[in-house]
Amino acid sequence: MSKIISVFGATGAQGGSVVEALAKNSQYSIRAITRNPNSDKSIALSKLNNVTVHQANLDEPASIDKVLEGCHGSFLVTDFAAHFDNRETKQGYSFVDSAIKNNLKHIVFSGLEHVEPIIKKPCLHFDYKAQIEDYGLARKDQITFTSIRLPMYYQMIPLMFRHQLEENKFALTLPIGQSSVYSMNVADIGKCVGSIFDMPEKYGNKIIPVAGDKINGKEIENILNKNLAPSRYSYANTNLEQFRSFGFPGVEDIANMFEFFQTDKMQRDINLTRELNKELESFDQWVNKNKQLFI
């Protein structure tokens, strides 16, 4: 009999990757959890083998209990940007409690480290996930809990940091100074999570720090120029104060994240990630396959 795995945030980038990876493994039956089961993305997921779509809301514990009943495990991703407050932490704590109550064997949580003790400023979308990570790992006598710590996504570069100067000429406004930063294709997360569920005796009750590459601004510039000619990219070396002046919602928290990146204290393990996902892509490989995202 297949093991039931519930995947929260199933229509998002992380959750969708996990659903697609687990759906290819016949030992699992997947409950794709979303707030809106009638969305186009939900309907597309429902057509995958071994996948059924269910409605639940992390703010409604009764709905969480309902979709967790009978599950072997669950993948949880929380969304700071949905509220920009500590509701994220409350959701995480409540979820762990519900998973224990419903006798789940394994939670894989999309976690992050504490940043405020390092830069002496809050980075809430990191710090809140770190609190959930602490809460889950502290209950290892009641449930197997794994925190998979992700880096920046490759996808963020064309989405947030590509600014057109003139025809075929672009500036990269990543505020990373001279530091090399860990990054990853978000679509590669699913196979990593699948390996964690496959081998709980190896990866359970641990922090798993993943990444696909570690690159600096000049290396990003060179990779883009190699793959995207005749377009030309230049690393602008935007400083943190300039970045904070951009003024979009949550900019201060994102700026503090990049301040943390510049400390070079983030730890990820590319070799471990390749162990989890044999098809892990470097940034160069990803750009070559996704040129349309830069058009």
Task: Give the type of residue at 222.
Answer: N
* 236-239: long-range contacts, CB 8 A cutoff, minimum separation 24: 236/163, 236/171, 236/172, 236/173, 236/174, 237/177, 238/173, 238/174, 238/175, 239/175, 239/177
**b/e per residue, 83-116, with b = 16+ CB within 10 A?**
eeeebbbbbbeebbbbbbebebebbbbbbbbebe
Burial label, 35 (beta-carbon count in 10 A; 0-12, 13-18, 19+): middle
Measured in degrees and rounded to the nearest 5, phi and psi for residue 15 equal -60, -40
H or E element at residue 181: strand 180-184
Q: Residue 120 burial by CB count (10 A; 0-12/13-18/19+): exposed, middle or buried?
A: exposed
pLDDT for 267: 98
Q: What is the pLDDT of residue 83?
A: 83
Q: Are 36 and 61 within 8 A, CB to CB?
A: no
Question: H or E stretch including 126?
Answer: helix 124-137
- Strand 213-216 relative to strand 180-184: parallel, antiparallel, unpaired? antiparallel
- Residue 199 has φ and ψ, to the nearest 5°, of -130, 65
Residue 174: burial class (beta carbons within 10 Å; 0-12, 13-18, 19+): buried
Q: In this predicted structure, what is the pLDDT of residue 15? A: 98
pLDDT of amino acid 84: 79
Q: How far apart are CA 126 and CA 113, in angstroms?
A: 6
Q: Give the CB-side neighbour count of residue 3, counting CA atoms within 13 A.
A: 14
Per-residue pLDDT of the chain (295 residues; tens, 9 = 90+): 799 999 999 999 999 999 999 999 999 999 999 999 999 999 999 999 999 999 999 999 999 999 999 999 999 999 987 887 899 999 999 999 999 999 999 999 999 999 999 999 999 999 999 999 999 999 999 999 999 999 999 999 999 999 999 999 999 999 999 999 999 999 999 999 999 999 999 999 999 999 999 999 999 999 999 999 999 999 999 999 999 999 898 999 999 999 999 999 999 999 999 999 999 999 999 999 999 999 8
Give, as one character, the DSSP assignment of residue 85.
S
CA distance 21 to 45: 12
**pLDDT of 21:** 98
Decide if 108 contacts 200 (C-beta within 8 A).
no
Calculate the alpha carbon distances from 132 to 55, 202, 279 in Å.
23, 21, 29
Considering only CA atoms, which of 66, 73, 64 is closest in space to residue 144?
Answer: 73
Instruction: Return the closest-CA partner of residue 106 out of 141, 140, 79, 145.
Output: 145
| Strand-pair category, 51-55 with 73-76 | unpaired
Question: So what's the pLDDT on residue 206?
Answer: 98
> Could you tell me whether strands 213-216 and 169-172 are parallel, antiparallel, or unpaired per DSSP bridges?
unpaired
